[in-house]
Amino acid sequence: MLEAIDKYANPCEDFYQYACGGWIRSNPIPDWTASWDRLARLRESLVQQMRQLLEKGEGSLNKTNEPSGVRKARIMYRTCMKADKLSQSLDSLEKILKAVGLPEHPSLFNNTNFDWLFTIAKARRLLGVSLLYGFNVAEDVRNSSKNKIVIEQINPGFTERYLLQPEKFSQELLHYKMYIAAVIKEYANYTNHSFVNDVINVSTEIAKVMTPAEIRRSPGYLFHEVTLVELANGPSQDNDTWRTTNWTTYLRIIFDDTNVVLNPQNDTVILFDLPFMKNMANLIKNTDIKVLKNYLWWSIFSKVSQSASDKYRSIAFDFSQKLLGVQEKIPKWKRCVSSVNANFGMVLSYLYIRSYTSNLNVNKVLQMLHDIKNAFEGSLHNLEWMDEVTREKMLIKLQAIRAFVGYPGWIMNATELDKHYNQAHVIEDELFETYLNLTNASIKRNLESLRKTPDRNRWVGTATTVNAFYSATLNSVTFPAAILNPPFYGNGIAAIDYGSIGAIMGHEITHGFDDQGRRYDEHGNLKQWWSLTTLEHYYNKVKCIIEQYNNYSMPELGQTFPVHGYNTQGENIADNGGLRAAFDGYKQHRLKTTLPQKLPGLSHLTGEQLFFLGFAQIWCGNSTVEALKAKIITGEHSPNRIRVLGTLKNSEEFSNAWNCPVGSDMNPKKKCVLW
């Protein structure tokens, strides 16, 4: 903590600089990434641990006493680490293009044979890639005990905000065009500017018909549930254009080779974005078929080629170097570990829990969560702007939040673990084929969940995830084992733990009551359960937070790129409410314990001061200017510096603890308080 502090900074002028100046100075961004903070550093040590776990068993691949899932994960890692077989990969790439109805070469094109609908449906079925329309099977948000088909908008493959403001983002667009041209030159050995323009033009047209995040976020934004018959026929206006997409064929291809037989009269689909779907049908109808083919060819090839060959990864790296300021490629072993973790996360969790978590006391973590939940409940009782009926329902929802801490118990049972991965077929020395197998198994599982009841007790992440989650449809919070490490947890002093993981716990609980989470009831169903008067007060308080964050910008980017207060409101609400609940939870904990709250070397700081220091220091970080810009334009989180300053400026407890005079930078007169 001493090393992270900048002791020359005034905590009442810039607490982020005070808490993190030392850390920022002594932790430059590693060359292989665009941003570096405490979360990234913990992820880095986790990746090192997972590498050891995967390599430790190299001599024992055929040990029969190990779960078969572990053997599969190790074979996949070994296969990934072996040399790149380009000729085989190219054959596989051509096979994929053929399977989705595309020519093996972008210049080959037969107008009469190309069926764009077959291509987008097959790409979703075989590769899990949604094109033109987003497709998924997920919980019905109005009845979370059922799964439904969900169709919604999908982005064009490049940030829509860049495409819509070509003057402002000319550099980013130029890099994207150069990237497309470089991939085509490598694969087909020809330069074709019209191909590049086709991709950019269709991408831009899609960006234009997308519903902006601001509108999708607004509470009045509607979605529609229709039967498959209604989906096929279309809304009453302009049905001819709607039927440009043959939805019956599309769904038949997607559910091909699954145990699901669709019933057009009874099965329903949730359309999350009807305006987008109408506009997209119109766009497809009026786009030259050859131009559309080029866009789809690129969309699929750019996704699968990187799994097939190092050459395409190198070109993609050059692109990210220019776009995000990354200096060098991620080492191969790191890429392989991440890939195995993405496909065998529960296996790596099993190995990780057995090797690295002997000190994890789940009950202690749950006790801390209990303190913070209690504190949040206490604050609900004191809200003057909330009427009693809404308050009662709020308390019911809060009590119903379920907590998942550490790891799912079933993964420690080898039989259960193997059952989970029995459809995951790994082929030694055939990495690309293995990817396709694993992708197919996971897509099939998702599609076949349509006829299954959602598992309310499922984990939304693996134990090997350095993150925390709130799920609105499950009304659950999840804290995986990998994040329950210093500097987030286990720091040895309660004040620091409550300020760090405690604030994250409070953050996830508060997500249940942010601008999106508050729309779901205690069962995870979307419904209007607030009184209109309370809602009005709520909106006024949220408006304060939106306007506050709108006024922030980052020194490196200047005023041209301010924080987007509306799009980051959910995370900002969670940061503010979470910190307040964690501080009250810490005060409750203090009453129950006699442990010393002083830190050698920082003995002049009180427990309260250590709490706020613990909070600020988990967000110490560095970022390239390019990555920071991308985060401000598209991110749902404010940049780390703003997360700390914005939250603390609203906290009276912080100003009291650090004796910041009213009117100082860290203690403005006007404070935005919601929860």
Rg (CA), the chain: 26
| Exposure b/e, 532-565, CB count within 10 A at least 16 = b | eebeebbeeebeebbebbeebbbeebeeebebbb
The token duo for 501 is: 């993981």
DSSP 327: -
Nearest to 385 by CA among 518, 515, 537: 537
> Do residues 660 and 12 touch, judged by C-beta distance below 8 A?
yes
Q: Give the span between the Cα atoms of 166 and 179, in whole angstroms.
A: 17
Residues carrying an active site annotation = 508, 575
Q: Give the span between the Cα atoms of 584 and 347, in whole angstroms.
A: 38
Q: Where do the DSSP E strands lie in 304-457?
A: 402-406
Classify residue 448 by burial, with Cβ atoms within 10 Å: 0-12, 13-18, 19+: middle
Indicate the pairing of strand 143-152 with strand 134-140: antiparallel
Taking each helix axis from N to C end, the angle separating 86-99 and 431-448, rounded to the nearest 10 degrees, works out to 30
The token duo for 473 is: 């449809």
3-state secondary structure 519-562: HECCCCCECCCCCHHHHHHHHHHHHHHHHHHHCCECCCCHHHCE
Q: Give the span between the Cα atoms of 488 and 364, in whole angstroms.
A: 14
DSSP 385: T
> At 114, which amino acid appears?
F
- How far is the CA of 455 from the CAs of 17, 360, 492, in angstroms? 45, 26, 36
Classify residue 111 by burial, with Cβ atoms within 10 Å: 0-12, 13-18, 19+: exposed
CB neighbour list of residue 658: distance below 8 Å, 6 or more residues apart: 11, 12, 15, 609, 612, 666
Say whether 328 sits in a helix, a strand or coil: coil
Classify residue 26 by burial, with Cβ atoms within 10 Å: 0-12, 13-18, 19+: exposed
